Structure 1
Amino acid sequence: MIQVSQALTIVAENSSEMPTQKIQVNKALGYILAKTVHSPIAMPPFRQSAMDGYAFTHSKRHQYDVISTSQAGDHVNTKLEFNEAVRIFTGAFVPDDADTVVMQEHVMANEKSILITNMPEQFANVRSKGEQIQKDDVVFEANTLITPAAIGFLTCLGITEISVYKKPKVAILVTGNELVKPGKKLPKGKIFESNSVMLQAALQTVGIKKTKVYTVKDKLKATKKALKEILPQYDIVLISGGISVGDYDFVKEALLANEVEELFYKINQRPGKPMFFGKRNETLVFALPGNPASSLTNFYVYVYPAIRNKMGFSEIHLPKLIRKLNADIPNTTGKTLFLKAIYDETHVEVLGGQSSAMLNSFAIANSLLIVPNDAEMLKKNELVTLLPIGGF
């Protein structure tokens, strides 16, 4: 059995980045850039008007003759005398002879001339060429997350294809004779299977939207066969249940029989102690506890950073927050505790229902409070560390 810090290090060291692929920018949402992108053009590519109004050469004059119009999409480089202006619209080309745009609300106008009633500063309302970015400047560094705004910015620069890290293919294998699919009649002695749906939802929070769910009974032969089929097809395999030491827990034996290298088994923590982490070639295997709260805790602490590492994120772990504790918390276990909690701007409250089988408190928690294994007591108003899990 190893400590949490050791387990985190082993997961990070063994979850190397996925291969890269070229992808259309409009399909790249949620991917991570594999290569730095440089701009092929300046943006804006010419001097633009930031307002609907009139372009002119700034002076002490207030009255100007309007000699032409510049609409967005036009490129008429009108020659202007000192007393002349151009009717102009937002995004339109500003003639070389003009240096300022006065907004239309600040003029009195007829068809042929304007009188400026509120004179702007020189160069006002003119977007310089390359104001956002110059040609060949860095648009985004490698390891940048592609967001809707990033897609918009890349597209406005004329970039249609980028190099990203592939997203890992993930499978979920659910074990247990006691499980019944939701929607069916629940016989006595059975429970509804919820971990696969829960894990699929958790995977979506890290950008994995498509997963395949497999089920298997608590039989060694069936478990070995299922893993033999699944392991070669996926980059990450999550297994729910069957990893403890009961008479019907066959997952570890089946994994070893399928040549999965054991990197660690069991962590000095609560909940979530009986977890197996292994590797076969480049496929990562997380055998998670069957108890729902244990399974979800270990997803956030270990699976989440492994997936982010493979996807190319530079920061792979959930961020850590510091808050004041609102009550004493004893720890007589010698284990690291991950307690379901709710925090606000200043304090954190540990919830009831901390059993590894309970999801009711997890469903309203917005954080996991970390109690170190060597801390026998955390005192009220002491600063403690949280992992935020809300806001998805």
Structure 2
Amino acid sequence: MIQVAEALNIIAENSSKMPIAKIKVSKSLGYVLAEAIYSPINMPPFRQSAMDGYAFTHGELTQFEVVNIAQAGDFLDDEIKKNQAVRIFTGAFVPDDTDTVVMQEHTSVKDNLLEIEKMPEAFANVRAKGEQIKKGELVFDVNTVITPAAIGFLACLGITKIKVFEKPKVAILVTGNELVAAGNKLPKGKIYESNSLMLEAALKTIGINKPTVFKVKDSLKKTISTVEKCITNFDVVLISGGISVGDYDYVKEALLENGVTELFYKINQKPGKPLFFGRKENKIVFALPGNPASSLTCFYVYAFPALKKLMGFEAIHLPKMKRKINVDFKNTSGKTLFLKALYEDEKVTVLESQSSAMLNTFSIANGFVVVPHDVTAIKANEEVVVLPFN
């Protein structure tokens, strides 16, 4: 059994970035850039009006003859004299012979004669060529996560394809004779299976939207064959249940039978002690505890950073913050504790129902309070480490 820090180091050392693929910008949401991108054009590519109004040459005049109209998409190369103006709309090309745009609200027009009632400063309301970004400038560096705004920015620069790290193919394998799918009648002695839905939802938070779910009864032969299928066809395998030491816990044996190298088994923590991490070639396996709260805790603390590293993220772990705890707390277990909690701006409240089987408080928690294995007591209002996950 190892400590939390050692487990995290082993996972980081054995999680490599996925291969690089070139994909359409329109399909790139949530991916991580594998190469830096530089702008192929100036943006805007021409001087652009920031307002609906009138383009003119700034000076002493306040009256101008309106000689033309410039809509977005138009290009006017007619000569505009100093006593002339052009009706212009937001986003339109600002004619070369003008330098300022006055808002239409600050003007009056009669018989094509423009009167500026509130004179703007010179060059006002004109977006300079390359104001947003100049040709050849860095758009996004490597390891940038593609967001909706990033997709919009790339598209406005005319970029259609980018190189990204592929997202791993993930299998979720759920074991147990006691499990029944929600929506069915619940026989005595059975429970509804929730871990696959829970893990699917957790994966979506980091952009992995289509994991494949397998379910297997407590049979060594079936577990071995299903594990083989998962390892053959997927980059990451998340197994829920069957990893403890009971007579019908076959997962570890099935993993070893399939040539998975055990990198660690069991961590000195609560909840989630019986966690297995292994590797076969470039495939990695997490065998998570079956108890729901333990399973999700281990996903956030261990599987989450491994998946993010594979996807090319730079910051892979849950962020750390400090908050003042609301109660006195004793740790007599000698284990690192991950306590479900609700944090606010300054304080954090440790929730009740910390059992590894209970999701009721987990469902309203937004972070873990971490109590190290060598800390035996914490006093109320003492600062503690909080790992936010929502």
Shorter-chain TM range is over 0.9
Give the secondary-structure state (helix, strand or coil) at the position aligned to 1:306.
helix
Q: 2:124 is matched with which residue?
A: 124
Per the TM alignment, residue 150 of structure 1 is displaced from its structure 2 partner at its CA by 0.6
Q: 1:272 is matched with which residue?
A: 272
Q: Contact 1:335/1:373 (CA < 8 Å) preserved in 2?
A: yes
Give the secondary-structure state (helix, strand or coil) at the position aligned to 2:237.
strand
Number of equivalent positions: 390
Q: Contact 1:66/1:111 (CA < 8 Å) preserved in 2?
A: no
Give the secondary-structure state (helix, strand or coil) at the position aligned to 1:230.
helix
Q: Which amino acid aligns with 1:90?
A: T
Give the secondary-structure state (helix, strand or coil) at the position aligned to 1:163.
strand
Q: 2:199 is matched with which residue?
A: 199
1:16-46, Cα deviation, whole Å (9 max, x unpaired): 1100111111111111111111111100000
Q: 2:158 is matched with which residue?
A: 158
1:353-381, Cα deviation, whole Å (9 max, x unpaired): 00101111101111111001111111111
Cα distance between partner residues in 1 of 2:88 and 2:163: 39
Q: 1:12 is matched with which residue?
A: 12
Q: Which amino acid aligns with 2:261?
A: E
> Does residue 384 in structure 1 map to residue 384 in structure 2?
yes
Give the secondary-structure state (helix, strand or coil) at the position aligned to 1:373.
coil
Q: 2:31 is matched with which residue?
A: 31
Residue ranges of structure 2 left out of the alignment (5+ in a row) = none
Q: 1:300 is matched with which residue?
A: 300
Cα distance between partner residues in 2 of 1:175 and 1:80: 77
Per the TM alignment, residue 225 of structure 1 is displaced from its structure 2 partner at its CA by 1.3
Q: 1:367 is matched with which residue?
A: 367
Cα distance between partner residues in 2 of 1:39 and 1:103: 31
Per the TM alignment, residue 333 of structure 1 is displaced from its structure 2 partner at its CA by 0.9
1:1-392 matched pairs, under 5 angstroms = 1-390=1-390
Cα distance between partner residues in 1 of 2:382 and 2:214: 45
Per the TM alignment, residue 166 of structure 1 is displaced from its structure 2 partner at its CA by 0.7
Deviation beyond 4 Å, 4+ runs, structure 1: none
Give the secondary-structure state (helix, strand or coil) at the position aligned to 2:32.
coil
Aligned-residue identity in percent: 64
Give the secondary-structure state (helix, strand or coil) at the position aligned to 2:45.
coil
- What TM-score do you get using the length of structure 1 for normalisation? 0.98
Q: Which amino acid aligns with 1:124?
A: A
Cα distance between partner residues in 2 of 1:59 and 1:213: 71
Per the TM alignment, residue 78 of structure 1 is displaced from its structure 2 partner at its CA by 2.7
Report which stretch shifted further, 171-180 or 294-303.
171-180
Residue ranges of structure 1 left out of the alignment (5+ in a row) = none
Name the Cα RMSD after superposition: 0.9
Report which stretch shifted further, 180-189 or 287-296.
180-189
Cα distance between partner residues in 2 of 1:355 and 1:112: 78
Cα distance between partner residues in 2 of 1:139 and 1:19: 22
Cα distance between partner residues in 2 of 1:269 and 1:160: 47
Cα distance between partner residues in 1 of 2:173 and 2:64: 76
Cα distance between partner residues in 2 of 1:71 and 1:111: 21
Cα distance between partner residues in 2 of 1:77 and 1:87: 14
